Structure 1
Amino acid sequence: MVARQGRRFQLSSTRLVLLCSLALVVLYNLATWEALANLVTLEGVKRAGFYLSFGLFLWAAFTVLLTLVSFRPLLKPVITLVALCSAAAAYFMNNYGIAIDTVMIQNVVETNPGEAKALLSPKLFGYLLVLGVLPSALIWWLPVHYRRFLPGLVNKVLVIAAALLVVGASVGAFYSTYAPIFRQEDKLTHFINPTNYLYAVTKLAKSRYAVKQNVVVQPVGTDAVLTAQAKAQPKKNLMIFVVGETARADHFSLNGYARETNPELKKLDILNFTRVSSCGTSTAVSVPCMFSMFPRSDYSDKKGKTYEGLLDILQRAGVQTVWLDNNSDCKGTCLRIPHQDIPKDQKSPFCDGTNCLDESLLVGLQAYIDGLKDNAIIVLHADGSHGPEYYDRYPKDKEQFQPVCRTNQLGSCSHEELVNVYDNTILYTDFFLSKVVALLKQNQDKYDTSMIYVSDHGESLGENGMYLHAAPYAIAPDAQTHVPMVMWFGQDTLAQEGIDRACLKAKQDEGDLSHDNIFHSVLGLFQVQTGVYQSGLDMFHDCRRALTASQ
């Protein structure tokens, strides 16, 4: 029903639902249509017919969802919320090529104010204004006619039934094309706006609720003790474990990248493992996963939050632990050990009140080391190559590659500018790691020292229209899952551990390693004896000499 009321038209609730559903299909789902174009193999008239069918399918599906809330108290508030959220979702999908799934929503929920601020831009506000605020204002301005309850309920049932018939007819006409597309749901459904974020939010909320219902953290490795060999060693072990951020292995010159992005590490006697895969494509997944006893195939957010991890076991075995953070946070990994965020407003040459360079993690660290009495692991969670404001991750004297992209609107930069600014972050990471090694060298007379660096995930730099990270793992490009891992050991460390360095060196390019190996390898390096240790996942086990028989 459309009637004139004064100077304004009055829409029926049904027509408003149909118009809003059509707007969602046409205006908010450009990323969906682009994804669909890469999946459909039909040609000519059949291809055009399928697109028409898919448009009708979406329109009918959205109509069903909005009809369910098309009651007087709900319809306008719900449409307003959907318009605003869908405008934001459209912006990020259109401009960064991202898909929206549970992991992406988890990233949003766990993003700190600094990270959120880095994503703000005039273009985002433009999307919110044009696709969010203005349509919402129009909807609130228009009078809407609602039927009485019983006739209205009957009408809603009929509308839903008709919409479901359209869904069935659309899919049925091209079933052989729809079936393979929806079997590979990561390639399409994570782009359909707004059902992508509605489903992801619901799934995450359900998972978080389940965790809250079982808030007791399950102890792991309660039998953990240092071996007799570890206790008998003349020097204590000191490891600095650097959790990198957003570094992709193929931009490390150590791994064959044409540019020299690792000039400092190249000078050091390091071990560089070239074939390492991440546990996830986002910090929220990869960081807790790499410290978990669960492999990627068996890991979940719930398990990450309800089971102790590597650092808990090390602490229980008598290893002093501390987590220093220059990133978002430890994603629950450090909650039961001493931990500290680097204050952004501290008086330091490495901080400007908003951001801190990773060298800030080393300020005062020697004093902490001087106070150690036992074996120790220091975890440094670096800011690394965190985007989209890559230009804030390094000092200006490390801006070797120019010109650079100086905006968070990555699509507006040339590929050369984007690669240049990203490579400068890798160059600074190289410099930072060399400073970590220098600190450890100062202490190798007192300790058996070591450094392990591994990135949490990689990064897309515009390849195939994709930027940043957090793509669904099943379809994530290698750029987001192939990560660098570099190790340095003090002059006596490997000998004290009974590990053959030549054997390790021969393994740098062999086999496929992943974050799954970290839990067991670090336990092995500290010679922690526990039932949860698996020698098959300890990357050093096969290179042990004297200790092999006793492990």
Structure 2
Amino acid sequence: MAHVWAMFRVVLYMEMRSKLKPVTSTRLVMLFSLSLVAFYNLATWHALVGLTQLQGIKAVAFYASFAFFLWAAITLLLTPFSFKPTLKPVLSLVALCSASAAYFMNTYGITIDTVMMQNVLETNPGEAEALISGKLFLYLGLLGVLPIVLIWMTPVTYRRVLPGLVNKVLVCIGCVLVIAASVGPFYSTYAPIFRDEDKLTHFINPTNYIYAIGKLTKQTVAIKETVKIQAVGEDSVLSAEARQRPKKSLMIFVVGETARADHFSLNGYARDTNPELKKQDILNFTQVSSCGTSTAVSVPCMFSKFPRSDYSDKKGKTYEGLLDMLQRAGLKVVWLDNNSDCKGTCLRVPHSDIPKTQPSPFCDGQNCLDESLLVGLQDYIDSLKDNAIIVLHSDGSHGPEYYDRYPKTMERFTPVCHTNQLGSCTSDELKNVYDNTILYTDHFLSQTIELLKRNQDKVDTSMIYVSDHGESLGENGVYLHAAPYAIAPSAQTHVPMVMWFGNQTLEDASIDRSCLAAKQNQPDLSHDYLFHSVLGLLGVNTTEYQPALDIFHSCKRSKG
């Protein structure tokens, strides 16, 4: 029976294929490029309209020129692959990848650049599963599978090698001429659009992801060629003052996820999203900027000696960071993760992920709530004999499935968006579900403080919480995060930062609390300050330390 079915499919395929007229390889590339311009670049056209603001006949002429420009550019890109062994496989791969790119750009309003591709490649299975939807499969079916079927069913004629090479050279020359003819009359309009690549090129499908993959591959190869991790702060030691403190120090550093500062009621948000933290004796810093707009950038950057202006992915992966220095100075360091991973930050210190299948009231086998990070932590604290820092990498407000980030008992704001198709939810539903995640973060941080309170009589306790980046909730049609920093909305770069200190911690560190409190609205704070502030608070001496970037330094009391 199987053989009969297989024979039937072959006959059906041959019958349908016989009804399609043969085309040359060049024509197939041109037709495919035309389909990319028309059906896969809706986000590009939308962005273009917003950038040009043209009217009347001039607008029609410019958009027509852009269509020709885009068609010629994509044809130029694909023509070198129009040989028999590569043509159909390459076009099929581009169709599938472009369908995926079109889905995410159209659905979430994102752009695709190197950072976005890095996020894609570093996404774990749980995060990837959260992005799967029926709409995604529809895109993949109509813009991916269907074109692939047509590509493989279409009979293609190929020229001999030499005539084929000549033809391809002529096609490429023709494409260059079309590009020149399209851009020339409207150069004054094109120039400002392409001068800043963030404005448009990150939307153009498929060149956006092809360029990003190429650039990321180049960076990865360069990093791998740098075999040795460069040491940072080899002179790191605990200062004499820190060694003379009456108690050991214990800091819990909470790396937040996707929390935006303007949804913290501590920062003036109308809804009470911080009912528990406001009852704690905290310091809340209201004007803090992130290093990046994605976890892959911000997490390693905040633990790096390099400020945002000088930070790069290569530096993040080839230089030691804050945790290495603290460990070298004799502190016990541990990283506990309830997120994707530490993005290389914790590789040389003890670290572990929270098992999703552990028997815990905070885990369901697939996801764990952030309170799972606190399970068993008291036993670890009891075992400590040295100064220590515990880093908790929380799941926070990670989207698009915000409804999975908090227990149903904390679903205070309703109705909620209960799908990963954020564009299908009302603005109120999306705001409600996101605010519930902030409400749960508030609870988790308060529970962390309560844990530290139970230990403040035996050790000097402190907590620093700061989010890695913010989140867009549909403003101007943009969702999620990872926008290019230069054009990212403040919703993705303005992050909350909260500190709490045990009853003797600041006194033993000779820090004036009232002076520190006066800095809560300091306008220029950022992730750049974290590296040096942690060194300063914990009393680690090193030539890498910069007092100007230590929040605590100017509030130090002299002991004279």
TM-score interval, smaller chain:
over 0.9
Runs of 4+ in structure 1 over 2 Å off:
4-8
Alignment of structure 1 residues 469-480 onto 2, 5 Å: 469-480=481-492
SS at match of 1:483: strand
The CA deviation string for residues 150-209 of structure 1, in whole angstroms up to 9 with x for no partner, is: 111111111111110000111111000000000121010000000000000000000000
Match of 2:468 among 456, 459, 464: 456
1:115 corresponding residue in structure 2 = 127
Residues 1:152 and 2:164 aligned together: yes
Could you tell me which amino acid in structure 2 is paired with residue 395 of structure 1?
P
Alignment of structure 1 residues 199-278 onto 2, 5 Å: 199-278=211-290
1:306 corresponding residue in structure 2 = 318
Distance 2:380 2:18 in 1: 76
Residues 1:24 and 2:26 aligned together: no
1:39 corresponding residue in structure 2 = 51
Residues 1:432 and 2:444 aligned together: yes
The CA deviation string for residues 92-136 of structure 1, in whole angstroms up to 9 with x for no partner, is: 000000000000000011110000000000100110010000100
- How much has 1:46 moved relative to structure 2? 0.7
Q: Which moved more, 1:293-302 or 1:37-46?
A: 37-46
Contact 2:202/2:208 (<8 A) preserved: yes
Alignment of structure 1 residues 370-389 onto 2, 5 Å: 370-389=382-401
- How much has 1:6 moved relative to structure 2? 4.3
The CA deviation string for residues 408-467 of structure 1, in whole angstroms up to 9 with x for no partner, is: 000000000000000000000000000000000000011000000000000000000000
1:524 corresponding residue in structure 2 = 536
2:517 corresponding residue in structure 1 = 505
Distance 2:322 2:306 in 1: 11
1:363 corresponding residue in structure 2 = 375
1:408 corresponding residue in structure 2 = 420
Distance 1:337 1:270 in 2: 29
- How much has 1:66 moved relative to structure 2? 1.0
Match of 2:549 among 513, 537, 545: 537
- How much has 1:41 moved relative to structure 2? 3.1
Alignment of structure 1 residues 284-323 onto 2, 5 Å: 284-323=296-335
Could you tell me which amino acid in structure 2 is paired with residue 140 of structure 1?
W
Could you tell me which amino acid in structure 2 is paired with residue 159 of structure 1?
V
Q: Percent identity?
A: 74
Match of 2:343 among 315, 326, 331: 331
Q: TM-score, normalised by structure 2?
A: 0.97
Contact 2:288/2:523 (<8 A) preserved: no
SS at match of 2:347: coil
SS at match of 2:30: helix
Could you tell me which amino acid in structure 1 is paired with residue 141 of structure 2?
L
1:166 corresponding residue in structure 2 = 178
Distance 2:511 2:69 in 1: 61
2:192 corresponding residue in structure 1 = 180
Distance 2:432 2:181 in 1: 51
- How much has 1:376 moved relative to structure 2? 0.3
The CA deviation string for residues 186-236 of structure 1, in whole angstroms up to 9 with x for no partner, is: 010000000000000000000000010112110000001111110011100
The CA deviation string for residues 50-78 of structure 1, in whole angstroms up to 9 with x for no partner, is: 10010000000011011111000001000
SS at match of 1:9: coil
Contact 2:17/2:153 (<8 A) preserved: no
Residue segments in structure 1 that go unaligned for 5+ positions in a row = none
The CA deviation string for residues 231-272 of structure 1, in whole angstroms up to 9 with x for no partner, is: 011100000000000000000000000000000000011000
SS at match of 1:190: coil
Match of 1:8 among 20, 27, 32: 20
SS at match of 1:240: strand
Distance 1:97 1:347 in 2: 39
Could you tell me which amino acid in structure 2 is paired with residue 166 of structure 1?
V
SS at match of 1:333: coil
Q: TM-score, normalised by structure 1?
A: 0.98
Contact 2:112/2:212 (<8 A) preserved: yes
Match of 1:56 among 68, 76, 89: 68
Could you tell me which amino acid in structure 2 is paired with residue 356 of structure 1?
C
Match of 2:94 among 82, 92, 99: 82
Residue segments in structure 2 that go unaligned for 5+ positions in a row = 1-15
- How much has 1:511 moved relative to structure 2? 2.8
Distance 2:131 2:31 in 1: 31
Q: What root-mean-square deviation, in Å, do the aligned CA atoms of Structure 1 and Structure 2 show?
A: 1.0
Contact 2:452/2:462 (<8 A) preserved: yes
Aligned residues: 545
- How much has 1:42 moved relative to structure 2? 2.4
